Structure 1
Amino acid sequence: MRIGIGLPNQVRNLTPSIIPRWAARAEEAGFSTLATTGRYAYPGVSDTVALAAAAGATTTIGLLSAVLLAPAWPSALLAKEIAGIDGISGGRLTLGIGVGSREDEFTVPGLGLAGRGTRLESDLETYRDVWDGNPVGNGPNPAVPSGTRQVPLLFGGYSAPTLDRMVRWGEGYLGGSLPPAMTAPSFDAAKRAWQQADRQGSPKLVVLAYFALGDTETGQANIHDFYRLAPATIVGNVLLCSTTTMIEQVIADYTDLGIDEIIFVPATDDLDEVTRLADIVG
């Protein structure tokens, strides 16, 4: 089991300058991955900016968007942004994709909530074309430097189309920050879909869990605020680890489920949370 840590990019009203410092400390502490949480209509820092800052502040740790709401972006623009971040990091980025469910996240004209799943199918083709270095627009030039790679994809979500995209385009499945008993069926479904599609090996399985080990009261309030417009099944069941025992139990439970990596997502932007978590999992 690999242990990663989230960046606090969507903690309400965080201090943005904490992000590169957080990233550097997480790498020094030995975490496997740094991950972002994606929203537009919230007072935080966007995935791409946070990941770019982390890429510049580190040299070895993996980078992951968990998850980025891809259909809210113009596809060619996002493909260029992601390729740039991956290139700056030296090929350490994995793009975790979700379709989103909140109308206020979709602010680009013509890219509304309706039809987002259908758009994503076309978007995935565009990403591949851009990363392959094919010309963009009406001119002869590609959007990315030669040598740009195909950035690996993970897919998050609870629908059948999510799993279909995963087996056609992705490297694996990304589970949400819910208790293991609630996420286990989704991971089982991802493994079945992989086998039924005759994909080789097994899908990479990654899961999220929030943590607040210092100011747990603020952490709980931040989680409630972030998810206050989410469905009741989500709001009432978000997994927030606030003690050593809870951290260790979640790791044990997900180890038993055969999960490859767990990302502990911070519920506050207290930089000392990196050290507190490292002291438990290290």
Structure 2
Amino acid sequence: MEVGLAIPQMARGLDRSRVLGWCHAADNGPFSSISAGERITFRNLEGITLCAAAAVATERVRVMTNVIVLPWHQPSLIAKELATIDVISGGRLDVAVGVGGRWQDYAALASPFDNRHQRLDDAVAEVKRLWTGGAAADGESVGPEPVQQGGPRFYGSAMGPKSMARVAKWAHGVSGFTLMADVSEAKRQFAAAESAWASAGRTDKPRHMTGTFVSLGKDSREVLRRFAYEYLEVFSPDFAKQLSESMRIHDKASLRDLLVEMKEIGCDEFVVVPATSDPTMANEVAEVVAEVL
């Protein structure tokens, strides 16, 4: 099993020096990837821009969009943006995509919330076509050509059986997430992915990825609770309060146990999503990862 680090873009206080701190910690530590995702109506730094910055600030780890909400994006433009990141990273980009779950973000972009699953499928197909030399509307190709032959690998953020069946048609694997650090939930997701791959007639196995929110260091429990509440409040204050008070990965022992269990159930990559922007937390995570792997 590999362990990746997410740039804590949803946490307060993230600035240039801290972004660089997380990127350098990922590159110099026992980590496999550095990643960033998307949200519009929140305080976070923009995810694709962060991935471009991480591509330049690192040399070794893979750079991953985890996840970008592809229905928000015009396919020709996002194909160009992602190919650019693949070029400046030297071919280290992975692309995890999904449909998102917040209508507020769609509304802020004047993007329709309906039919988003089909639009995701269509956008993936179009981006892949453009990456392999397909012409845009004016008959010209959209460059640059990605470093990776055929383009970066796609991962789908899928939870239910219908979305898993869709993802099985075009993805290299599944990028999941478990809010409550629930190993049994992750195990069910992995099994569902393998079943969907088999039903799609595929002979390869899906790459299994999942992750959760983690806080280590001073006042870690309260830091995790506050971070989770602020992040989830968009769904409802009561929902955010209930879940944030149940978050449990706020010390080294709980993280160590979680990584051991995830490794045992066949997780290929576990992504640690920090609840603090302070990059010194990466050193503590690295100590735990070194023990487990």
Q: Which residue of 1 is the match for residue 213 of structure 2?
A: 210
Q: Which residue of 2 is the match for residue 158 of structure 1?
A: 159
Runs of 4+ in 1 over 6 A off after TM superposition: none
Cα separation, partners in 2 of 1:260 and 1:167, compared to 1, 3 Å: same
Q: Which residue of 1 is the match for residue 63 of structure 2?
A: 63
2:200 is equivalent to residue 192 of structure 1: no
Deviations 1:82-119 (A, max 9, x none): 1111111111111111111211211333x221121121
2:263 is equivalent to residue 258 of structure 1: no
Question: d(CA) in 2 for partners of 1:47 and 1:74?
Answer: 16
Q: Which residue of 1 is the match for residue 130 of structure 2?
A: 130
Alignment equivalent of 1:268, drawn from 266, 272, 276: 276
How far apart are 1:177 and its partner, in Å? Answer: 2.7
Question: d(CA) in 2 for partners of 1:14 and 1:142?
Answer: 33
Question: d(CA) in 2 for partners of 1:141 and 1:197?
Answer: 31
How far apart are 1:5 and its partner, in Å? Answer: 1.1
On the 8 A contact 1:177/1:239 being kept in 2, the answer is no
Deviations 1:242-262 (A, max 9, x none): 111101111121122111111
Cα separation, partners in 2 of 1:67 and 1:247, compared to 1, 3 Å: same
Q: Match for 1:191: what amino acid?
A: E
Q: 1:213-252 alignment to 2 at 5 Å?
A: 213-214=216-217, 215-216=219-220, 217-230=222-235, 232=239, 236=243, 240-252=248-260
Question: d(CA) in 2 for partners of 1:234 and 1:3?
Answer: 29
Root-mean-square deviation (Å): 2.1
Alignment equivalent of 1:182, drawn from 185, 190, 214: 185
Cα separation, partners in 2 of 1:153 and 1:233, compared to 1, 3 Å: farther
Of 131-140 and 117-126, more deviation after overlay is shown by 131-140
Task: Could you tell me which runs of 5 or more consecutive residues in structure 2 were left unpaired when the two chains were aligned.
Answer: none
On the 8 A contact 2:178/2:210 being kept in 1, the answer is yes
How far apart are 1:174 and its partner, in Å? Answer: 1.3
On the 8 A contact 2:38/2:67 being kept in 1, the answer is yes
Q: Match for 1:112: what amino acid?
A: P
How far apart are 1:220 and its partner, in Å? Answer: 2.0
How far apart are 1:21 and its partner, in Å? Answer: 2.8
2:88 is equivalent to residue 88 of structure 1: yes
Of 220-229 and 133-142, more deviation after overlay is shown by 133-142
Deviations 1:195-236 (A, max 9, x none): 222212311001112111014122320111111223749962
On the 8 A contact 1:209/1:239 being kept in 2, the answer is no
Question: d(CA) in 1 for partners of 2:176 and 2:141?
Answer: 38
On the 8 A contact 1:101/1:113 being kept in 2, the answer is no
Q: 1:103-142 alignment to 2 at 5 Å?
A: 103-106=103-106, 107-109=108-110, 111-142=111-142
Question: d(CA) in 2 for partners of 1:27 and 1:122?
Answer: 34
How far apart are 1:172 and its partner, in Å? Answer: 0.7
Question: d(CA) in 2 for partners of 1:43 and 1:235?
Answer: 22
SS of structure 2 residue aligned to 1:122:
helix
How far apart are 1:240 and its partner, in Å? Answer: 4.7
Q: Which residue of 2 is the match for residue 10 of structure 1?
A: 10
2:34 is equivalent to residue 34 of structure 1: yes
Cα separation, partners in 2 of 1:155 and 1:26, compared to 1, 3 Å: same
SS of structure 2 residue aligned to 1:274:
helix
On the 8 A contact 2:229/2:241 being kept in 1, the answer is no
- What is the TM-score when the length of structure 1 is the normalising length? 0.92
Question: d(CA) in 1 for partners of 2:269 and 2:247?
Answer: 16
Question: d(CA) in 2 for partners of 1:2 and 1:83?
Answer: 25
- What is the TM-score when the length of structure 2 is the normalising length? 0.88
Task: Could you tell me which runs of 5 or more consecutive residues in structure 1 were left unpaired when the two chains were aligned.
Answer: none
On the 8 A contact 2:164/2:196 being kept in 1, the answer is yes
Percent of residue pairs bearing the same amino acid type:
25
